[in-house]
């Protein structure tokens, strides 16, 4: 629901007292935008350089994904601490510390392949990344929207976040192709040096709280236990297909320990006076529904990381920099999706039911596009529009779901706790679950299809003049065709689910189905009003 008090709030003056007096005020917020872009382009492990890392080290794909999800776990678990640290330390302390930690972590990740070292390093890199991002964006929020209208702030925030996600993967792939994958880490260390120099030369120590908020009373131990539980769950989901799921004694032990740890964490959250995460969050209206929709959306969009990777790499044989350049076509869709949410939530202030339907409808179009164009004879340029729809869907759903969460949880402290749970699902758990689900489905359908179509290719079907080389060529062609058929089958399942979600949210926008909520006007009526106003 739209918070009318927030909309009608008097605009607050925008000042950045952390800058020195001689720095021009017009460029001050742009300096912070440059810093947040540098921080957002950083990572412990870069998606675009995974093939290069696998080719030069003993790390497998599952190891690299585990490191990636460790960084995402660090980002998610630190949300309840963001305001406490902002009201305890100065801007210089937070940003310099974040930049130094990211730089050190990038130096370590390019110097070692020991998973016992890399896991906590990537986790700390994720913590520093979200802390630096929050510090920068919170200081320029009033510049973006003087009324603190989150219908405006969240879309603008996601322009930076989603551009960095796609752009960093592309940049890492290009750097790894022309130089080496280590040079991306060197580039990140250089950008972190830029952040440190900006804070030392252009800024001065400043904290929004004259009396610093102490860090006493924070249930850090439960936060660490939650982090451990997240890493154990990601281990099960990432390595599940490789270890044959629970046929493996290792995964059975990890699952048992995870359940015991989960029970202990829930006990502490109910008994500790000031828990790390308050269970009161789930009593807010619509929170559980928002989390459910988030999980479904992320599972559907998980096809980007798994099915597309199989198709681009195994079927089409594309290099990493080519895949990165192709996936850049999702950015126009991202910007269109952000503009839609900015108008919908920030200007028109309509309800989000039909906006959810548009988001899932974009997933439906994307999955149908991939379903009908999955063929080795189709030029890769034909996939650009489908990738743009995927980016549009991600932008619309990410912004609208976060905005809905803010509208449901009004208490500031509880909102950041709710953001922790939201991002555990949004950035971490659903993505890892999607990888485990899609790899298992792919292996199942692939084996079934090879058994069905393999009968058409036997040694007895070859003529005496054909040798084993001809048989190997036909087998390779058959396997590529079966891969395409298998991917079509999985995209077909995505079509059904996304179509159902689209239809459900369109149905919820009908007054007879849900009553008492403002209705979005019919498009012809709105178009007539718009034309009359222009005339």
Of 272-286, 301-315, 452-466, 498-512, the one with minimum mean pLDDT is: 452-466
Sorted by sequence, the CB contacts under 8 Å of residue 151 that are 6+ apart come out as 2, 341, 342, 345, 346, 349, 403
Give residue 453's pLDDT: 67
Asked if residue 349 has pLDDT above 80, the reply is no
Contact 345, 403 (CB under 8 A): yes
Give residue 9's pLDDT: 47
pLDDT band at residue 473 using 50, 70 and 90 as cut-offs: very low
Contact 121, 245 (CB under 8 A): no
Asked if residue 460 has pLDDT above 80, the reply is no
Task: Look at residues 324, 335, 56 and name the one whose alpha carbon lies nearest to residue 169.
Answer: 324
Tokens of 421: 């749970």
Cα separation, 325 vs 320, in Å, equals 9
Mean pLDDT of 259-285: 84
Mean pLDDT of 442-456: 74
Give residue 303's pLDDT: 74
392 or 349, which is more confident?
392
Give residue 365's pLDDT: 92
pTM to 2 decimals? 0.84
Mean pLDDT of 243-261: 86
Asked if residue 100 has pLDDT above 90, the reply is yes
Model pLDDT for residues 101-142, shown as the tens digit of each residue: 999 999 998 888 888 888 889 899 989 999 999 888 888 888
Q: What is the DSSP string of 267-313?
A: HHHHHSSS-SS-GGGGGSTTHHHHHHHHHHHHHHHGGGTTHHHHIII
pLDDT band at residue 531 using 50, 70 and 90 as cut-offs: low
Asked if residue 317 has pLDDT above 50, the reply is yes
33 or 526, which is more confident?
33
Asked if residue 528 has pLDDT above 70, the reply is no
Task: Look at residues 348, 340, 274, 292 and name the one whose alpha carbon lies nearest to residue 81.
Answer: 274
Contact 44, 122 (CB under 8 A): yes
Mean pLDDT of 444-463: 64
Give residue 321's pLDDT: 80
Model pLDDT for residues 373-426, shown as the tens digit of each residue: 887 788 888 888 888 999 899 899 989 988 888 888 877 778 888 888 888 887
Cα separation, 411 vs 431, in Å, equals 28
Give residue 468's pLDDT: 43
Assign 3-class secondary structure to 315-333: HCCCCHHHHHHHHCCHHHH
Average pLDDT, the chain: 81
Of 16-30, 140-154, 239-253, 459-473, the one with minimum mean pLDDT is: 459-473
Give residue 101's pLDDT: 93
Tokens of 504: 């459900």
Mean pLDDT of 245-257: 86
pLDDT band at residue 507 using 50, 70 and 90 as cut-offs: confident
Of 324-328, 432-436, 459-463, 504-508, the one with minimum mean pLDDT is: 459-463
- Collect contacts of 377-386 with beta carbons under 8 A, ≥24 apart: 380/316, 380/318, 380/322, 380/326, 383/326, 383/329, 384/326, 384/329, 385/329
Cα separation, 363 vs 301, in Å, equals 7
- Percent over 70 (pLDDT), the chain: 87
Mean pLDDT of 523-534: 58
pLDDT band at residue 4 using 50, 70 and 90 as cut-offs: very low
Model pLDDT for residues 182-198, shown as the tens digit of each residue: 888 899 999 999 999 99
Give residue 112's pLDDT: 84
Asked if residue 520 has pLDDT above 70, the reply is no
Give residue 459's pLDDT: 46
């Amino acid at each position: 629901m739209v918070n009318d008090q927030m909309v009608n709030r008097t605009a607050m003056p925008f000042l950045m007292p952390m800058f020195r007096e001689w720095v021009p005020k017009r460029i001050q917020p742009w300096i912070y935008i440059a810093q947040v872009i540098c921080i957002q382009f950083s990572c412990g492990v870069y998606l675009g350089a995974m093939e290069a890392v696998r080719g030069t080290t003993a790390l497998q794909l599952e190891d690299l994904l585990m490191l990636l999800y460790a960084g995402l776990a660090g980002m998610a678990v630190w949300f309840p601490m963001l305001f406490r640290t902002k009201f305890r330390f100065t801007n210089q302390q937070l940003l310099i510390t974040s930049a130094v930690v990211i730089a050190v972590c990038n130096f370590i990740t390019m110097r070692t392949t020991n998973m016992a070292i890399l896991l906590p390093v990537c986790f700390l890199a994720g913590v520093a990344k979200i802390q630096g991002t929050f510090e920068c964006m919170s200081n320029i929020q009033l510049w973006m929207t003087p009324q603190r209208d989150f219908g405006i702030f969240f879309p603008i925030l996601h322009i930076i976040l989603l551009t960095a996600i796609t752009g960093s993967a592309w940049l890492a792939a290009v750097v790894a192709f022309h130089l080496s994958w280590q040079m991306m880490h060197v580039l990140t260390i250089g950008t972190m040096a830029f952040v440190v120099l900006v804070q030392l030369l252009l800024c001065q120590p400043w904290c929004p709280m004259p009396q610093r908020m102490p860090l006493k009373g924070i249930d850090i131990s439960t936060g660490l236990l939650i982090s451990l539980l997240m890493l154990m769950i990601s281990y099960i989901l990432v390595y599940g297909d490789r270890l044959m799921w629970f046929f493996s004694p290792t995964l059975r032990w990890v699952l048992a320990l995870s359940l015991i740890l989960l029970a202990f964490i829930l006990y502490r959250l109910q008994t500790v006076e000031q828990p790390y995460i308050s269970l009161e969050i789930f009593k807010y209206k619509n929170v559980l529904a928002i989390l459910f929709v988030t999980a479904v959306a992320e599972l559907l969009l998980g096809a980007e990381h798994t099915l597309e990777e199989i198709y681009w790499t195994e079927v089409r044989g594309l290099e990493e920099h080519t895949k990165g350049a192709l996936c850049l076509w999702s950015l126009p869709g991202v910007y269109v999706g952000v503009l839609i949410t900015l108008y919908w939530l920030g200007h028109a202030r309509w309800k989000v039911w039909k906006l959810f339907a548009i988001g899932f409808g974009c997933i439906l179009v994307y999955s149908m596009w991939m379903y009908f164009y999955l063929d080795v004879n189709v030029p890769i340029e034909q996939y650009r529009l489908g990738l743009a729809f995927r980016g549009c869907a991600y932008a619309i759903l990410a912004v609208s779901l976060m905005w809905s969460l803010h509208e449901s949880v009004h208490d500031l402290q509880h909102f950041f706790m709710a953001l922790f749970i939201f991002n555990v699902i949004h950035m971490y758990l659903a993505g890892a679950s999607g990888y485990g689900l899609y790899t298992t489905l792919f292996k199942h359908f692939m084996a079934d299809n090879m058994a069905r179509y393999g009968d058409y290719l036997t040694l007895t079907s070859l003529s005496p003049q054909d040798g084993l080389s001809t048989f190997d060529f036909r087998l390779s062609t058959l396997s590529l065709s079966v891969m395409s058929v298998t991917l079509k089958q999985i995209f077909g399942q995505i079509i059904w689910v996304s179509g159902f979600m689209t239809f459900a949210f369109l149905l919820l926008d009908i007054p007879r189905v849900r009553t008492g909520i403002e209705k979005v006007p019919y498009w012809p009526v709105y178009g007539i009003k718009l034309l009359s106003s222009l005339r």
